[in-house]
Structure formats: C-alpha cells, structure tokens
Structure 1
C-alpha cells in the first residue's frame, strides 16, 4: 500500500487547477541535457549518501567502545551521532571542568558581562569554543521535541522576548548543568530523577485533574 494518499482536505477542483497551471516540462534537446545533469546529480548524491552511512556506522562503533557512551546516549534525542559529537567536544577529562559553570562558559552559553564605571552591559559571549557551543545548542534545540522541561524553558525564554538562537542558548545552559552532573557522577540521564522535569509533569497532571 502506498504511503502517499489524498487526504481529502483540498477541493479536487483546486488540485486540478494547480496541475493544469503547472509549467510544462522541458522537451527535445533541452530535456535531454537536463536529464543528463539530473542523472549526474543523483549518482553523486548516491555516492555521498553511502559514505555518510559508512561514517555513521564507524562513529557508532567507536562510541560503543567508550566508557562514557551510556551517559551521552541516554540524553533525549541524542541518537548515536549527536551523542558522539557531544562526547567528542566535552571529552572525558573531568578535571578540565571542575564545575558546571566552567563547561557553560567554555560553551559560550553563559552571557558575558562587561562593566565600565557605572555602565554594565550583558551580551553575547563571543570568546568560547564554537564547536562545543554548536554541539550543545544543536542538542538542546532538538530536545525541545522530546522533553517538556526543555520545551518549557525554551518557551519561557521566547516569551521574555528572546529570539530563537538566544532561547536555545538559555536552554543549552540548563542542559549543560544536567549533562555535567551525569558526566561527573558517571550515570545515565534518568528523567524520573530529574526533579525539575518531574515537578513540571506533576503540575500538568494536577492541572488536568
């Protein structure tokens, strides 16, 4: 059975109008040239796709051998590649980040405060490990889809007037604190032990009840 079907929400007359108004395809020599170009693109993308799958398999193999794999793969929507990226950027030297704030600052998710006399400005932190920041923000932004606590923090930041990148950094800062504790304790992330998440779930349940 085909996975593509007509939902019935659009009037058939409208669909027919769109089809008849669509531009005609190329014909003759022009069509042959476009066909050759398209086939070349498809062939190139097929090769690239195979290499991507091979690299992902290699990454998963290397991740499986690491002692901290259970920590990073337990994070919501981390998968294999994202977990490996977080592990690669954070590393496994606990002494490098004795506090969560040390990791937060290196990742550039903590605001930078500059003061001169009576003037105090809080702004974007430019001096940081940009690869680490990109990794934690990528994870944090996607975790919104799988974790109500993450979604709540993100939308609270948006309601305060922050744009999407800023709101993701706010969430990433909180996410790093959770990751740091799991990392230093050597334990996988357990949502049932995440007190802020459980409080939010209980509040939602009480509101429904």
Structure 2
C-alpha cells in the first residue's frame, strides 16, 4: 500500500511574512515578522469574541497568512482556521528549547515567545506541518469522551476517599460487594449508612432487602451477613451518626458522578453511531462502544495527519525513542507524546489479547523476553496501530480473515494440532 502524502508548507511564506501567537488565559500576544526576521508589528488582544476578531483583522492587515501557536485546539485556533489562515503548532517544549537560539537568558515572556514562534515558522519551514483540523463530529466526540474520562478519574478518587472513610466509620461494608461504587453497594450504603443500622439486619431481613433491590445473588445473604459481623465494628451512637453524615455526603456525590458518566456514555454511543468511521473502530476485537469512540476521537479522521503508521505510533508513545551519540546508543521511553491517544491505544491493546490469538502471542512473547506489563502492552499497541492505520486509510472494517499474521498463526495451530 502507498502511504498517504503529508501536507507541507510552501518553501516561502505567502507575502513573505509569518506570525506567532502566544496563548494565555486572559490575553494573547501576537508578533509578525518579515522575510528577514525583522518585527513588523507586535500587539496584544483580549481573550474575548471581539478580541479574537481583532486578532484576525490585525494579522490580515500585517500581511500574515501563516500563524504559529503552541496548541492545536481552543477558541483561538478555531478563530484562525475560520479566517482561512494556515495554523502551525509548535509545542511548548520546542519553544522552551528554541528560546536559547535568541539569547542565553532563557526567560519566559509572552511577547518574546510570540516572536520566537513567528521566526521559527519563517526559518524552520521544512520541519513544520500545517494543522489540518478534524471534522466537527470528531471534535465533538473527542470532547465527550475526554469529559467522560475526567469524570471517571473523579469517580475513582472519590471512591477511594469513601473507602478510606468507611474503614474507620463502617468497616463491614468495605469488600461486602465486588465494587464499592457498584449499584448494589451504593444502594446498601444508602439504606445502611452506619453500624447501628447494619446491626438491625438478620439473615432473613437482609435476604428480603436484597430481593427488593434485585440483587443478582452472587453471594448468599448468610455470606454477606457473616462478612458484616466478622469485620471490626464501626462507630456507633452520636459518633456513628456524625460519621454517617459524611458517608451520605460522599455517597450523594458518587451517585451523581455515576449517573453523569452514564449520561455521557449514552451521548458517546449516539455520536459514534452517526460517525462515518464508526465501523472501522467498532470492528476491532473487544473495542466496545466507549473504547472504540476513544480510539476514533484521539486518532481523528484527517488521513493526511499521519502519512504512515510509524508517525501514528510515535505520537501515541508506543514507539521507543532512540538516542545515539558516537558509539553510544540508548532506546528509552517516549515522553513527548499525545497522552490521551497513548492511554486509549494501550487500553484497547491490553484487552484485545483476551479475544485475539495474534495479540495474545505478541503480548506473551514480550513477557517471555522479560518485559513488564506496561512495556508489553506498548509493544502490542504498536503492532495494532499498524493494522488500525491500514484499516483507517482504506476506511475498511477490521476483518480477521484478511489479517495475514493472525491467519498464519491460526494455520500453525491447526497444523500442530493435526
């Protein structure tokens, strides 16, 4: 298969001028330089709708058609792209290192950084690539899956806080059910939030309550009651009542978080179903809905952004970084990556080995070579990205029958069994 062409900048900037915008919370510093690197204009605009319109107007008046900036999303980038200006992203780490090109002080100054961005866009054009935005459905899906991810992180932190509180206030409920934030566990805590109320339970009463809430029955009422009585007793009396208030407060927030996560998951399912590339990512083994949506949202739908599989693997942080000087060569962990993409890819890869023999063998071989679980997962994720990239470029669903490495492995297993 031929790799996709990579978008590039023209050899010289249109009009001979380039601009840099240093993004900030309240205002943004801008600088425009000419073909010799001399400053044409400098100005600052407020982070308001009127300010962003003023930014676009003044850049056009200065003759700048290309703008360098440190991030590739947000209102500023959207305003620049809407005005048909070419946007080039230069990461903050690169800008930090580029400051030494213009002086040894290494100072952080918004106006100076805007100049560094503009001049780097003028001098380093061969290494830079214009930002090609994803479609609106992909951007919306990305915002939704990232919001869900943040809420899940909050839920985990709050669940840990509740568990730590219960170990003192009501130890019996910790470990009573499989997960502290499961529906049955939250329902139990809502009804029995302290030791005094749990003491009222008998096996018969507990069985009746479990039947009323539709418990699946993985543990018998007798086993649950034994767990409650075997645990250290929690706080009782006035102290128990006071601690129960804390339990209810944490429980209410945890319940609300869980409900909002479910709401976002419903939105994700709807947005994914309407996306043109949904069939590609939902066809992957054990991708599910949320996992497929995360992969789609983080990879995007702009094929020109990743002209080959290795560029996608590098951005995802699953390809090692090689450092070589003279006879010394070191291969290490890649830090400058899209962490959201890496998390999505590694999460998929780690679970895919339970449903795909090829993935299971790659993971097992890495473990046999002495790699730990995270390293083995990244090795598997890198291999998967080569498969995903080809499916993505061809807009074709993953078909195990066309996966030659998988079919070769299955053929070997059949031959060995015969």
TM-score, normalised by the number of residues in structure 1: 0.88
Residue in 2 that maps onto 1:60: 269
- Residue 179 of structure 1, aligned match among 380, 388, 391: 388
Q: Which residue does the alignment assign to 1:43?
A: 252
1:4 to 218, 236, 259: 218
**In structure 1, the residue corresponding to 2:241 is in which secondary structure?**
helix
**Equivalences for residues 156-175 of structure 1 within 5 A:** 156-175=365-384
Structure whose residues are more often strand by fraction = 2
Q: CA RMSD in A?
A: 2.1
Per the alignment, residue 311 of structure 2 pairs with: 102
Question: What are the Cα deviations for residues 144-187 of structure 1, in whole angstroms up to 9, with x where unaligned?
Answer: 22111111101111111111111111001000001001001111
1:71 to 280, 284, 294: 280
Aligned ranges 1:78-97 → 2 under 5 Å: 78-97=287-306
Aligned mates of 1:74, 1:196 — CA distance in 2: 17
Shift in Å, 1:19: 7.4
Q: Aligned in 2, Cα 1:66/1:19: closer, same or farther, shift over 3 Å?
A: closer
Query: 319, 323, 340: which one pairs with 1:131?
Result: 340
For the residue of structure 2 that corresponds to 1:136, the secondary structure is helix
Q: Please list the CA deviations of residues 119-156 of structure 1 after superposition, one character each: whole Å capped at 9, or x if unmatched.
A: 11111112222221111111111112211111110111
Select 1:190's aligned residue among 393, 396, 399. Answer: 399
Instruction: Single out whichever of 24-33 and 141-150 deviates more from structure 2.
Output: 24-33
| Structure 1 segments unaligned to the other structure (5+ residues) | 7-11
Distance 1:90 1:20, change over 3 A: closer
Q: How far apart, in 2, do the equivalents of 1:187 and 1:19 lie? A: 53
How far off its partner does 1:21 sit?
A: 5.1
* Structure 2, gaps ≥5 residues long: 1-210
In the alignment, does 2:251 pair up with 1:34?
Answer: no
Q: Which has the higher contact order (CA 8 A, sep 6+)?
A: 1
Aligned length: 201
Pick which of 103-112 and 65-74 moved more: 103-112
Distance in 2 between the 1:47 and 1:145 partners? 33
Using structure 2 for the length normalisation, give the TM-score. 0.45
Deviation at 1:70, TM superposition (A): 0.3
3-state SS, counterpart of residue 75 of structure 1 = coil
2:238 and 2:246 map into 1 onto residues whose CA distance is: 13
The higher radius of gyration belongs to 2
